[in-house]
Structure 1
Amino acid sequence: MKVVVIGGTGLIGSKVVALLGEHGHEAVAASPNTGVNTLTREGLAGALQGASVVVDVSNSPSFEDQAVIDFFRASTTNLLVAEAEAGVAHHVALSVVGTDRLQGSGYFRAKQVQEDLIKESGTPYSIVHATQFFEFGKGLADGMTVGDTVRVPAARIQPMASEDVAAAVARAAVGSAVDGVVEVGGPEVFQLDEFLRMALAAHNDPRSVVTDPSTTYWGAELQDSTLLPGPDAHVGKVAFADWLSRQR
């Protein structure tokens, strides 16, 4: 089976391509680096010829509110049109747990636009909602830093390793379209401040982390469980402590 992975040279996409290849599928890494651009449509029709499934794990190069909405609207629209022309039978997209609950954030409003376009396209689809990646813990802290202090909302988080995210996306790609959302998360639940303290400690980062109920998460207000997947979520295998030990 031919599977085209949009964003296939990035953190998740490269792992998805490798996993699909290991299981005997023809996995094509499609990105501007390989001559495929979903914004200009350059190389898109050729890449999709003969494809049964398209996996979209691409992300906007800018997180500025209007730029990210423009990216997901244009990229997703062009991709879905090209898929219809090529006869692609299944569209798989990676999104974020809690997207519909995080609409105070421009980024998550853009992800909602992406999801709505997919749902309205008529193409059979599966949307994989993943929790925050272990790899992005330090970046998350950077976005919440004021001076030498990381100020975080009071909330729980169930982060996961990128390899578990990729495995979930690959499973969706080789399975039947669910025409809905599949949730995935890590094997452990942390308080957000606890997770970030451990992430920073692994980098020998001296910043302090404090809980501040007035702080937002990328512009969105959080409730205690906003970032948590539901009870039917698939749980990844990699524990945070084990992942940290591998980084060292």
Structure 2
Amino acid sequence: MKKLMPILVLLVTSVAARSNISKPYVSSKGGITISWLGDYGDTLTQQRMLDHLVDFMLDHIAKPPRLNLFLVLPPIEIATRHIGRHRIDLVTIGYDSFANKDSLSFDQPVQQWQKDMYGLTDSPYHRVADLYAGDWPEVRPHLQGKEGLKMYFQGEFDSTKNFYDHLLSLVDFAVRHVNEIQTQQKRLILPAKMAHVHVSVLTLDTARLNRIPIRQWGFDPSPPSNLRRNGFFIAIGVALLAATFLLLRRRNRSRPL
């Protein structure tokens, strides 16, 4: 038992550490790809919720069949924004090739460090973002060779707005205003998670996006249970069991004593 203790301790520690690490979940169907950064908790339930969200969008939002949408929840390369001590939501919507990464720019205090590390010679120093969600192995196959709406959303901080109503209203707006987004989008410079670093994101004016009315969509984030999803097959199974039971009972009654 003593020999097994170090192994058990290592196993428990690894599981505990893994539970605090973010895990990318991906759902892609009908031209909609959502990348969501969750955790290693109930992974099956989280994946079903994301699949359920994609199905709801396809059923309730009139997206043109040839239009692609890449939705990132949340954008991990962009720092959380604050007003005073309060964190605020973030939304960007642009139209671009999904292969195009966001670019990083560096302020003067870190330019020499970047030059030494990456051998950069241009000024201002910049490079593509390392944490671009489209590069994740789970996401890349769904985006290859495609272009369309690229949307970043971090909307869990404003408790006065329902997260899913806000998200669905933004997606509905985006698919109905593709031409406006393509013609009026510009580069927005946002702070990255590293000090003195900024991210350049292609987006429609965020002031316009923040004025979009939020409607109630009635989305229930709880994924359909297996019982409801497979109710038809369960009913058939119960019927077959009942029929088998009755058949065996009749045979037993028909046997001579």
TM-score normalised to the size of structure 2?
0.27
TM-score normalised to the size of structure 1?
0.27
